[in-house]
Amino acid sequence: MIRLHVRNPLTAGAGLALEPDQARYLTSVMRRGVGDEVLVFNGADGEWRARLAEAGKRGALLALVEQVRPQAVGPDLDLVIALVKRTRLETIVEKAAELGARRVRLVITERTNADHTRIERLQAIATEAAEQTGRLDVPEIVAPLKLEKMLSTWNDRRLLFCDEAGDAPPVLDALPLTARGRGPEPWAILIGPEGGFSPAERDRLRALPYATAASLGPRILRADTAAISALTLWQARLGDWA
């Protein structure tokens, strides 16, 4: 069944006017008509079954029928990724949403070869991925910050620093074991640019008390492959795959 992320509160019997793009998608692209049902979620009120009550040139109106799943969120996991080329960054955001990241935070390093991106485009990709994968929330896309500025305002979140220097332990050896049924503390995974971290950045990261350096294997990975691999391994060890 089609799933749509909406911004409105969701309560039984309420009417829900779709945004123009969603109305066009539902009625013109997917050819749904009055009486057809969809699933909607807003990241706060769970997932609801809704029926298309009105469809026309002026838009579309849904009638909420019943809640089918209560609200739930996955582990508190951030992906921190250095800006890379547009197509690869879009892939990273899509896969981060599919793999359960709660946020994607963009960072600018000394060797970053891209200096801007379209946050609204990346947020739309994250929303579409959330709709397709069945999750009940949408990852937040956080605007780029320079690495040093980000680290200077860091909180107590643990940081898995994917270090390609070759002298860090494998990810599964570096990550702690968590008792089954007990959620992990907040974590972030940091992936550098295609050119890697500078020696000064690597030394800075390794000196942080909350950072854990880890290797993703003997081969140099592109940023999108590294991000997918690290998220998968973290989920298998500490996340909702464990």
Domain boundaries, the chain: 3-69, 77-237
Report the C-alpha gap between 182 and 239 in whole angstroms. 10
Calculate the alpha carbon distances from 232 to 35, 36, 239 in Å: 40, 36, 9
For the chain, 242 residues long, give each residue's pLDDT as a single digit of tens: 999 999 999 999 999 999 999 999 999 999 999 999 999 999 999 999 999 999 988 889 999 999 999 999 889 999 999 999 999 999 999 999 999 999 999 999 999 987 679 999 999 999 999 999 999 999 999 999 999 999 999 988 999 999 987 789 999 999 987 644 455 689 999 999 988 899 999 999 999 999 999 999 999 899 999 999 999 999 999 998 87
Measured CA to CA, the distance from residue 57 to residue 23 in angstroms comes to: 9
| Cα angle: 165, vertex 171, 173; to 5 degrees | 110
Ramachandran bin of 205, using left for φ above 0, alpha for ψ from -120 to 50, beta for the remaining angles? alpha
For the domain spanning 77-237, the CATH number is: 3.40.1280.10
Write the pLDDT tens digit of every residue in 105-164: 999 999 998 767 999 999 999 999 999 999 999 999 999 999 999 999 998 899 999 998
What is the pLDDT at residue 183?
59
pLDDT for 181: 46
What fold is seen in the domain 3-69? Ribosomal Protein L25; Chain P (2.40.240)
DSSP state of 215: B
- Position 178 scores a pLDDT of 64
Whole-angstrom distance, CA of residue 66 vs CA of residue 168: 50
